[in-house]
């Protein structure tokens, strides 16, 4: 079997098995043999999507392609939900409503894979800058597998009962798409699902593998922008200034005590200062310094304590140094933590183990990345997201043995291994 075929087989089956497995009277997922028939079409779709990515909130053409595919399969399709969101409904008698979600957007990354179908797309971002665009996070894999699952399930209606709800979500990368769709009536204009499921490709797992986590799977993500004010002047006369670089440096060091000394060690948390900018020249003390932080946690109470501690420490350092005015601290809430419903997750893992073999299903630890798929769970729907390996197994084993890193998600070199 082709390597890429194996990746798609597992990804499609994960979607299809999840939809069938979430139903109590289903007779199982559609036969994988049917995938061989539709694979050439999915392969062509994948290459088309990979060549033509669109930025978050600009996914008009991508959404139109997804909508057209669903309509051709007999789904009732609504476009323009929460931006460029697409909703497809396929009713098949009494039974639960199962939602399968894919993300649609690409990233502002210049592709450097050298693939013959590599993206050369460009776009103008929200800041008015022209940027390259790439599916560097594998959303093209998600969409292709999602269409594959829709095709298999639409052709096997004798094997399941209920309502299939296909959701093509925009703006996952900005963390805004799921909430935008919910605010636009995703769970009121359309049947509210009994279960929701998504997949994500994994650049740290071999193709053919599905990995999963029960309970917290991904983190709360918050961004903090800080401006620390001082009184600038000549570097030779620091006693006539209030140096914001020193204040900021002290604050950065003090922030490290939040996780190490204030947080319960059994509650995972991260406070990272990712950017420190101030000054223009060797001998000039600036008037201000800007910091950018990312903050990660699982529990909401931990999240609140981390953010409160950040503000307390930064304000205190500025006050202790006699800063001319308090720092400005802006918190931009990103995505809430993704919680995989334990009962649903274990049930789906069992279904996938039966379909793929127990050796290909692995439970793993949660990670500190973020995903706005979490919003659907927060809206009261039991949900689960599973990860599908995207690395050719021999390449994965070689890298593991050598201790070398493979291209990660969001890398300009990331692409699932593919063999023709």
Cite the active site residues.
105, 172
In whole angstroms, what is the distance from residue 388 CA to residue 101 CA? Answer: 15
Phi, psi of 383 (to 5 degrees): -140, 160
Residues 6+ apart with CB under 8 A from 140: 46, 49, 50, 53
What are 379's two structure tokens?
Answer: 């809206």
In whole angstroms, what is the distance from residue 388 CA to residue 141 CA? Answer: 10
Tell me, rounded to whole angstroms, the distance of Cα 8 from its chain centroid: 19
Nearest to 161 by CA among 360, 15, 27, 296: 27
What are 155's two structure tokens?
Answer: 């052709």
The packing angle between helices 3-21 and 33-51, to 10°, is: 110
In whole angstroms, what is the distance from residue 118 CA to residue 397 CA? Answer: 26
CA distances from 78 to 125, 304, 395 (A): 26, 38, 41
What are 327's two structure tokens?
Answer: 């720092």
C-alpha torsion sign, points 344, 346, 349, 351: negative
Q: In the 8-state DSSP scheme, what is residue 138?
A: -
Q: In the 8-state DSSP scheme, what is residue 113?
A: S
Question: Contact, 139 vs 104, CB < 8 A?
Answer: yes
Bridge partner list, 227: 290, 328
Question: Contact, 291 vs 275, CB < 8 A?
Answer: yes
Q: In the 8-state DSSP scheme, what is residue 300?
A: H
Nearest to 12 by CA among 208, 232, 220: 208
């Amino acid at each position: 079997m082709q390597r890429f075929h194996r990746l798609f087989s597992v990804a499609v089956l994960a979607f299809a098995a999840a939809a069938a497995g979430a139903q109590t009277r289903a007779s199982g997922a559609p036969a994988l043999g049917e995938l061989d028939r539709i694979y050439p079409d999915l392969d062509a779709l994948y290459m088309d999507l990979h060549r033509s990515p669109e930025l978050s909130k600009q996914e008009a053409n991508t959404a139109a392609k997804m909508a057209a595919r669903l309509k051709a399969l007999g789904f009732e399709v609504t476009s323009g939900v929460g931006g460029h969101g697409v909703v497809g409904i396929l009713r098949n008698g009494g039974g639960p409503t199962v939602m399968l979600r894919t993300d649609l957007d690409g990233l502002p990354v210049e592709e450097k894979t050298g693939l013959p179908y590599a993206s050369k797309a460009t776009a103008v971002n929200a800041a008015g800058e022209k940027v390259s665009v790439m599916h560097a996070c594998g959303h093209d894999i998600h969409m292709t597998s999602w269409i594959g699952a829709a095709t298999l399930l639409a052709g096997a209606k004798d094997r399941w009962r209920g309502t299939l709800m296909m959701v093509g979500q925009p703006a996952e990368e900005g963390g805004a798409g799921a909430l935008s769709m919910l605010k636009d009536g995703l769970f009121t204009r359309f049947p509210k699902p009994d279960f929701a499921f998504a997949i994500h490709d994994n650049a740290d797992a071999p193709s053919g593998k599905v990995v999963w986590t029960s309970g917290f799977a991904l983190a709360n993500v918050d961004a903090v922008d800080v401006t620390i004010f001082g009184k600038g002047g000549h570097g030779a006369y620091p006693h006539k200034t209030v140096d914001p670089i020193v204040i900021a440096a002290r604050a950065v060091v003090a922030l490290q005590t939040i996780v190490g000394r204030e947080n319960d060690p059994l509650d995972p948390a991260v406070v990272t200062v990712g950017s420190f900018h101030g000054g223009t020249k060797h001998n000039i003390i600036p008037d201000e310094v800007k910091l950018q932080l990312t903050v990660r946690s699982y529990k909401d109470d931990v999240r609140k304590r981390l953010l409160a501690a950040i503000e307390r420490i930064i304000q205190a350092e500025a006050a202790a140094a006699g800063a001319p005015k308090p720092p400005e601290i802006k918190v931009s809430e990103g995505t809430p933590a993704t919680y995989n419903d334990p009962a649903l997750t274990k049930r789906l893992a069992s279904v996938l183990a039966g379909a793929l073999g127990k050796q290909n299903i692995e439970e793993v630890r949660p990670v500190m990345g973020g995903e706005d798929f979490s919003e659907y769970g927060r809206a009261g729907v039991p949900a689960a997201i599973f990860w599908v390996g995207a690395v050719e197994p021999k390449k994965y084993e070689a890298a593991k043995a050598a201790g070398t890193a493979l291209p990660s998600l969001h890398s300009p070199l990331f692409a699932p291994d593919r063999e023709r």
